[in-house]
Amino acid sequence: MIVVMRADSTAQDLAGVVALLDRQGLSAHVSQGEAHTIVGVVGSPIDHGELSPALEALSGVDRTVKVSKSYKLASRQFQPADTVIDVRGVKIGGPEVVVIAGPCSAESEEQCLRIGDAVASAGARLFRAGAYKPRTSPYAFRGHGEAGLEMLARVRETIGLPIVTEVLTPAHVALVASYADVFQIGARNMQNYLLLEEVGRTEVPVLLKRGPSATIEEWLLAAEYVMAQGNRKVILCERGIRTYETATRNTFDVNAVAYAKRETHLPVIADPSHGTGVRSLVSPVGLSAIAAGADGLIVEVHHDPDKSWSDAAQALGLETFGELMAKGEAVARAVGRDWAGVPV
Ligand code: PEP
Ligand code: MN
């Protein structure tokens, strides 16, 4: 439920609402809008219709509204203004379109530093690479584990880019948190509810990939799992879904980008690398996502793409990545966004 304050309500009126909720063991999430202040009611169970008469009798309250979506904390009804997530000074979900780039897997320190340096010069603001890799085959390279996290820490230390990396299991959350600036929850784990709750108990921002066969609503409910534990810093990531189409690895769902931007206040980014699985399609599809309102891209880049230890077919070379960045800036500006691609 949300409480909509009257336009002429005072700070004292707001304090009265917060106090009433407090007495009920609930807490208030206050969003200061241009016209109205909205108070989201937080606590379990999440809709508290029986409190409506008492709240509506308070001074300064215009009305109470039941949040009609199945996801509550993530919905735009609950919080009309965009959530902007600050990752070591890089703002995701604000006016600027932000690019996260790096190899699929952290292969060696030299590889990470070389790619990190190149993508930073092209304007990427965060570095991605997996140390724990979810692989379809148990015989494929599954990441260097903690040694891979050390490689990422070297990139942050040497080049200054914050780190995005996948956490596969609740058992690794504390360890990965000691290295990562942003947790990645991979597509295969989108409905691993115990993992979602574990990262929800931290304060580390969470990049939540959409599951390969998840509906948009299931994806947003996965975000709700994280947020319900207290961590409101969720970045939604559309990475393609499985359809009847076999020409590409996945089918990138640009609808989902526009839809999630409309229905939630969370930042929404696009992964055209996994979304297509095809090197030559990564840039055009990434640009389409920016045009549709994405707050950023996450892109797999490698200095020797064909030799990537994982996802070689979709890795961009350094030059192609530079071209994508130039076009990305043009598209971002064409749709009224700023571009965060200032080389570091
Ligand atoms: C990845 O980012 O390398 C990855 C494994 O992504 P996804 O979970 O979207 O398949
Ligand atoms: Mn990958």
Q: What is the DSSP letter of 188?
A: G
Of the bound ligands, which one is closest to the alpha carbon of residue 209?
Answer: 1
What is the distance in A from the centroid of ligand 1 to the CA of 114? 21
Of the candidates 166, 175, 110, which has an alpha carbon nearest to the alpha carbon of residue 146?
175
**Which pLDDT does position 341 carry in this prediction?**
84
pLDDT tier, 344 (very low <50, low <70, confident <90, very high otherwise): low
Q: Is the CB of 104 under 6 A from ligand 1?
A: yes
- As a whole number, the mean pLDDT across the chain is 96
Written as six digits, the tokens of 200 are 């929800």
**Which pLDDT does position 33 carry in this prediction?**
84
What is the distance in A from the centroid of ligand 1 to the CA of 265? 24
Written as six digits, the tokens of 142 are 């599954």
Write out pLDDT tens, residues 101-138. Answer: 999 999 999 999 999 999 999 999 999 999 999 999 99
Residues 59-77 have a mean pLDDT of 94
Amino acid type, 115? I
User: pTM, whole model, 2 decimals?
Assistant: 0.96
User: From CA 162, how far away is CA 145, in angstroms rounded?
Assistant: 18
Asked whether the predicted pLDDT for residue 154 surpasses 60, the reply is: yes
Strand, coil or helix: 180: coil
Q: Is the CB of 187 under 6 A from ligand 1?
A: yes
Q: Is the CB of 134 under 6 A from ligand 1?
A: yes
Q: What are phi and psi of 145, to 5 degrees?
A: 65, -140
